[in-house]
Amino acid sequence: MHVNNEKELYETCVDFFHFSLQLIREISPSNRNLKFAVVNIQITLELFIKYYLVRQGHLENIADIKNGKLKNYKKFDTIMNYYFSNTKWSYGEKKELKKILDARNLIVHKGLRSGWDNDLAIYIIKCVLFIHGTMLNSFGISLLKGYPQPNPISTNLTWREGIEQSIDKLNTKHNFSVFHCPECGAYSLIPSNIIGLDSNPDESLECLCCFYFYNIEAEAAVINCYKCSESKSYLIDRLNSDERQQHLGKCLECGINTPVRKCYECERFYHPNDGEFTFDNNYFCSSDCKEIYEECM
């Protein structure tokens, strides 16, 4: 019985999640779309929390069961309280998620035809991240994969603001480096171990605003910047080099973009400005590397 409930909740939740993103893309202070996004994200949230709890084996605590059959779920208020009293840490804040529920009730029960509410708009974006983050961390399921990269949703100003605020919030707890995304320009490029787009084990820098990512094991590399001294902010195109061992790179912090080199001996990336050594038309990061190469000749 649980398996069926779980599957239905999951599939409907995923559909509503994607539709919510579609709606969020269209929200703006200059139109009346916010209410559609609010109602949809509230439904997504409700389905998600039920799915989460059922999958974790809590069905009996959130539903009325008679003769082994599910009669109905308890009121969502009750279920949400149960969720928050049974989870230690989460990407979402109860009071913000609650606001979405309240707004949804006002829209549905009182026909509230309110205009723009920036706080509410930000809450629904945080709610998207809450659902995605929890789904990924708890079950290894990514709801954001398969989207175009960069995703056009990143041009929505409210989406950008909501994503940047969520990252700020996470950063006060976890303290990680945040960079401007070279693709969409939002201040939202972060290490994948914080809240990734997918459960790829490779280390990467990922933009939560446009979903673009840089795999810094296979395709890209990061080193410290020689100009602004920021650590691991210099993003390098690992796969493309010229005949002089040069790779294109750019500091995500200060914007400087002089080429870097890959040492002929140890294959480490370095800034030529920091000093380098040459022999036989090959470039080396240190005199040691140069000597090792010479000895093997």
What kind and span of H or E run contains 7? helix 2-24
107 touches Zn ion (CB under 5 A): no
Tell me the window of 111-119, 128-136, 275-283, 286-294 that interacts with Zn ion (CB under 5 A): 286-294
Residue given tokens 């069961």 in the structure block: 65
Nearest CA among 204, 172, 174, 169 for reference residue 189: 204
Q: Strands, DSSP E only, in 154-257?
A: 179-180, 187-191, 204-207, 213-215, 220-223, 234-241, 246-251
Is 157 a residue that touches Zn ion (CB under 5 A)?
A: no
- Residue 255: count other Cβ atoms within 10 Å of its Cβ: 12
Q: By the 8 A CB rule, do 134 and 52 touch?
A: yes
Contact letters for Zn ion, residues 51-90 (x by CB under 5 A): ----------------------------------------
Amino acid 186 reads A
CA distance 285 to 261: 8
**Which of residues 23, 163, 205, 207 is near Zn ion by CB under 5 A?**
207
285 lines the binding site for Zn ion (CB under 5 A): yes
**Number of residues located near Zn ion, criterion CB under 5 A:** 18
180 near Zn ion, judged by CB under 5 A? no
The answer to whether 210 contacts Zn ion (rule: CB under 5 A) is: yes
Task: Using CB under 5 A, pick the residue from 164, 183, 198, 206 that binds Zn ion.
Answer: 183
Binding Zn ion (rule: CB under 5 A), the pick from 225, 235, 236, 260 is 225
107/225 with CB nearer Zn ion: 225
Q: b vs e for 280-291, b when ≥16 Cβ sit within 10 Å of the residue's Cβ?
A: eeebbbbeebbe
Task: Tell me which of 131, 143, 181, 235 binds Zn ion, using CB under 5 A.
Answer: 181
- Pick from 160, 251, 269, 277: which binds Zn ion (CB under 5 A)? 251
Does residue 153 interact with Zn ion by CB under 5 A? no
Contacts of 296 (CB under 8 A, 6+ apart): none
By the criterion CB under 5 A, which residues form the site for Zn ion?
181, 183-184, 207, 209-210, 212, 225, 227-228, 251, 253-254, 263, 265-266, 285, 289
